Amino acid sequence: MTAVSSPVPRRERLRQATLDEIKRTAHTQLAELGPAALSLRGVARAMGMAPSALYRYVDSREVLLAELTADGFASLADALEAAFAAADPHDHLGRWLDVARAHRRWALDHAVEYTLIFGPRVPDGGSVDSRVAAELERSVAVLFRCMTEAIGAGLVDTGHIDAGLTPAMYARLRAWAGDHGVAIDPGGMAVCLAAWTQLHGFLSLETFGHLPPALDDPADLFDRQMIDVFAQACRAIAPTGPPAPTT
Amino acid sequence: MTAVSSPVPRRERLRQATLDEIKRTAHTQLAELGPAALSLRGVARAMGMAPSALYRYVDSREVLLAELTADGFASLADALEAAFAAADPHDHLGRWLDVARAHRRWALDHAVEYTLIFGPRVPDGGSVDSRVAAELERSVAVLFRCMTEAIGAGLVDTGHIDAGLTPAMYARLRAWAGDHGVAIDPGGMAVCLAAWTQLHGFLSLETFGHLPPALDDPADLFDRQMIDVFAQACRAIAPTGPPAPTT
DNA sequence: CACCCATCGCGAACACTGTTCTCTGTAGTG
DNA sequence: CACTACAGAGAACAGTGTTCGCGATGGGTG
């Protein structure tokens, strides 16, 4: 009929364009003023349109925030996946470190999104946006792959860790692994969990300004801890010293 | 001159009473509706007074929130200090575990305050409330005491950890220890930092609902990780005898 | 081509918020 | 007693999210 060359009917393309602009300016306001100060009227003002016009594209302020949150999750997941893909697949420690560093850099560069993402869930608590959940899974999956592949390479003695788990823990960790579609030892999942909590704990303290100022730029301390996370997992197999650094 | 029996001049006592009531009702609203929904008008309504009257007691909404935040910090610090004091001073692992559990219980019981406390610092960023900083120090100090006393008892070979630190890290960790008025090895501070980040990472993920639901009630997993934090610190001492600092 | 109607954008309006101002009664002071 | 400091009330201003009804525009169809 009309322009078959463009598969999307132009009308919809324009709509998508302004929706993108809305998101972009909202994102800017967010980064500059913080999540609490994001106002639809402010966005409308910056775009030179009436506040009410925004409602043709956005259901409500909260929905817009949720959308930006999901975008943030996606952006983080992309960064992690890119770091994972770019790393040497045979140097498991190095790859883990690369991914962890990518996570840190992203957190520092996107402090506000980090708040949105890892801050408290929506007060209503009701339905966690399904897209948010999916993107979170994607991020966590990358972190897990670093560990599971190291386990697969025989760097971690998961049996030793299993021994420290009660049957109840064992069962739930196994269930969790099932949720992720991976078939690894519960001990391996325990390692993943420890890695994730430590990574997130450090970054949340740092990005939210709770680390003591005496620790100036804690990049090296972060590296040190992430290496230790890995080394702790490998401890049963390599009793002394950090394993196979080979920068 | 007047009533010497009551050292505070009644007038001020009444003032303090209503101020307490304000804080109490604000705290309730906070717990029920979340930090974003706390409104001065709502507090005034619940107390049966005009919104403008609140300004006799509170400078602004933000200041009130900061006040509640500081109270939250203080409450957490109290809980940690109580747990520390109640524990067997010779069982260092047990005491650490008790303190960590007290931290967790507090976080779960006071999810909203936990947000206020460990969420992003005030957007303005300007002056971190000095009281907030002081109470935070008090909390962290308890966690540190668990570790430093274990180090003092010879359970941790800090020298071994020191060896893994670059001179720059070493210097900054030492400076941090100086800020806390404690004279312990930078390696010990590294242990404290790891313990803190791991504790906070786990709790922030759990209280904010980001842990996978498959892990149902992760109390035992939390214990497991906290024990591992301690064990990791002690690892170097297990195989060979007394600590041998190898700067 | 003309027509039509879905869509877009706008302005006004409502209910709500934080905050300031001015006013009044009253409790404590000399 | 008079007087002052102060708690509280009410109105008002600026700002917010959100809804509703109006006009205009322009792509799809007769």
| Integer Cα distance of A167 and B149 in angstroms | 33
pLDDT tens digits for B55-68? 999 999 999 999 99
Q: Which two tokens stand for residue B16?
A: 């303090």
What is residue B231's predicted lDDT score, i.e. its pLDDT?
A: 85
Q: Minimal Cα distance from A196: which residue of B?
A: B201
What is residue A122's predicted lDDT score, i.e. its pLDDT?
A: 53
State the average pLDDT over residues A161-185: 86
Q: Which two tokens stand for residue A136?
A: 């979170």
| Integer Cα distance of A131 and A126 in angstroms | 14
Q: Which nucleotides of D are covered by protein (CB under 7 A)?
A: 6-12, 15-21, 27-29
HEC profile for chain B?
A: CCCCCCCCCCHHHHHHHHHHHHHHHHHHHHHHHCHHHCCHHHHHHHHCCCHHHHCCCCCCHHHHHHHHHHHHHHHHHHHHHHHHHHCCCCCHHHHHHHHHHHHHHHHHHCHHHHHHHHCCCCCCCCCCCHHHHHHHHHHHHHHHHHHHHHHHCCCCCHHHHHCCCCHHHHHHHHHHHHHCCCCCCHHHHHHHHHHHHHHHHHHHHHHCCCCCHHHCCCHHHHHHHHHHHHHHHHHHHCCCCCCCCCC
Rounded to a whole number of angstroms, the distance from the CA of B15 to the nearest CA of chain A is 31
What predicted TM-score, i.e. pTM, was given to this entire model?
A: 0.88
What residues of B are in contact with residue A115 (Cβ under 8 Å)?
A: 119-120
Distance from CA(B9) to C1'(C29), angstroms, rounded:
12
What is residue A243's predicted lDDT score, i.e. its pLDDT?
A: 40
Find the range with the poorest average confidence among A49-58, A161-170, B200-209: A161-170
- Minimal Cβ distance to B232: which of A208, A215, A232: A232
* Minimum CA–C1' distance nucleotide for A53: C9
Find the range with the poorest average confidence among A120-129, A224-233, B109-118, B124-133: A120-129
- Domains detected in chain B: 1-58 (1.10.10), 66-237 (1.10.357.10)
What residues of B are in contact with residue A215 (Cβ under 8 Å)?
A: 172-173, 176, 193
Distance from CA(B134) to C1'(D17), angstroms, rounded:
38
**Contact check, Cβ <8 Å, B123/A242:** no
CA quadruple A117, B97, B131, B43: dihedral sign: positive
**Contact check, Cβ <8 Å, B208/A121:** yes
Q: Minimal Cα distance from B137: which residue of A?
A: A212
What is residue A7's predicted lDDT score, i.e. its pLDDT?
A: 62
Find the range with the poorest average confidence among A204-218, A225-239, B84-98: A225-239
Distance from CA(B5) to C1'(D3), angstroms, rounded:
26
pLDDT tens digits for A25-79? 999 999 988 888 899 999 999 999 999 999 999 999 999 999 999 999 999 999 9
CB-based burial label for B52 (10 Å; 0-12, 13-18, 19+): exposed
What is residue B242's predicted lDDT score, i.e. its pLDDT?
A: 34
Q: Which nucleotides of C are covered by protein (CB under 7 A)?
A: 7-13, 16-22, 27-30
| Integer Cα distance of B203 and B219 in angstroms | 10
